[in-house]
Amino acid sequence: EAQVTQNPRYLITVTGKKLTVTCSQNMNHEYMSWYRQDPGLGLRQIYYSMNVEVTDKGDVPEGYKVSRKEKRNFPLILESPSPNQTSLYFCASSQADRGPYEQYFGPGTRLTVT
Amino acid sequence: KNQVEQSPQSLIILEGKNCTLQCNYTVSPFSNLRWYKQDTGRGPVSLTIMTFSENTKSNGRYTATLDADTKQSSLHITASQLSDSASYICVVDNNAGNMLTFGGGTRLMVKP
């Protein structure tokens, strides 16, 4: 089954404790991205990657890092989480970065930073 | 600034009724317009994708329209079902590389 998986689905952590949210897709997609969703603000892009070893900042990259060492994986790293990073995070992938390609979203990771 | 505005913010309808959700955008240059359905706490799921040259696309009981001249789109839901209760998000691609602009969504509740 074609899918995007994220782990963990739920995470409660404390300020400053480094964490990684994993994202994996099994569709051989070139393009992957991370979004956060906050009430009243909609989905905002954090980082995206157009292929292996190619990443770029989205609208709200501050406080986040990503890497794309393999085509299928695109982890999101919070080196020193802060309470304002409490949010619902989604990973997504699509065949390419341009064109009417369907973008598939993961199930989401709900992060709480205390 | 690229923006996507959706209306209404929320809507309650009775099961079996039709409804129409609106999306206005100022994204330029424009390439594609997408509608997603998002159940609470879950990832968005694609309903339709329209290029700038298309003016209507259907997916079952969902029909999206696009007027690229007025920069407006609508999503019409026919014969609503309880399972249609969700947020509906309008997303516009610009043509200058990977930039998707998301609307704030319309939260639809279908009551029996």
At B110 the pLDDT is 98
| DSSP 3-state of B24 | strand
Residues B105 and B22: beta-carbon distance below 8 Å: no
Distances (CA, A) of B75 to A113, B64, B107: 37, 4, 13
Taking alpha carbons only, the member of B34, B15, B26, B23 closest to residue B78 is B15
Q: What is the DSSP string of B64-99?
A: EEEETTTTEEEEEE-S--GGG-EEEEEEEEESSSS-
- Nearest by CB: B98 against A98, A102, A108: A98
Residue A109: count of CB within 10 angstroms of its CB: 22
Kindly determine whether residue A41 and residue B104, on different chains, have CB atoms separated by under 8 Å. yes
The C-alpha atoms of residue B31 and residue B81 are separated, in whole angstroms, by 32
- pLDDT tens-digit map of A41-97: 889 999 999 999 999 999 899 999 999 999 999 999 999 999 999 999 999 999 876
> Distance between CA B23 and CA B6 in Å, rounded?
4
Q: What is the pLDDT of residues B17-58, one digit of tens each?
A: 999 999 999 987 778 899 999 999 899 999 999 988 899 999
Give DSSP secondary structure letters for chain A: ---EEEE-SEEEE-TT--EEEEEEESS--SEEEEEEEETTTEEEEEEEEEETTEEEE-S--TT-EE--SSSSB--EEESS--GGG-EEEEEEEES-SSSS---EE---EEEEE-
| Contact across the interface for B98 and A33, Cβ inside 8 Å | yes
Distance CA B97, CA A52 (A): 17
What is the rounded distance in angstroms from the CA atom of residue B59 to the CA atom of residue B45? 12
Mean per-residue pLDDT, A7-14 = 97
Q: Measured between alpha carbons, how far is B87 from B98 in angstroms, rounded to an integer?
A: 24
Could you tell me which residues come within 8 angstroms of residue A101 by beta carbon, excluding any fewer than 6 positions away? Answer: A31, A94, A95, B49
In 3D space, the residue among A83, A41, A35 whose CA is nearest the CA of residue A59 turns out to be A35
pLDDT digit string, tens, across residues A81-92: 999 999 999 999
Nearest to A97 among B50, B97, B104 (CB): B97
**Residue of chain B whose alpha carbon sits nearest to that of A90:** B43
**In sequence order, what are the residues at sequence separation of 6 or more whose Cβ sits closer than 8 angstroms to the Cβ of residue B69?**
none
| Contact between B6 and B22 (Cβ < 8 Å) | yes
B7 touching A (Cβ < 8 Å): no
Q: What is the pLDDT of residue A100?
A: 77
pLDDT for position B105: 95
List the structure tokens of B28: 């330029």
The alpha carbon of residue A3 is apart from the nearest alpha carbon of chain B, in Å, by 11
CA B36 to chain A, closest CA, distance in angstroms equals: 10
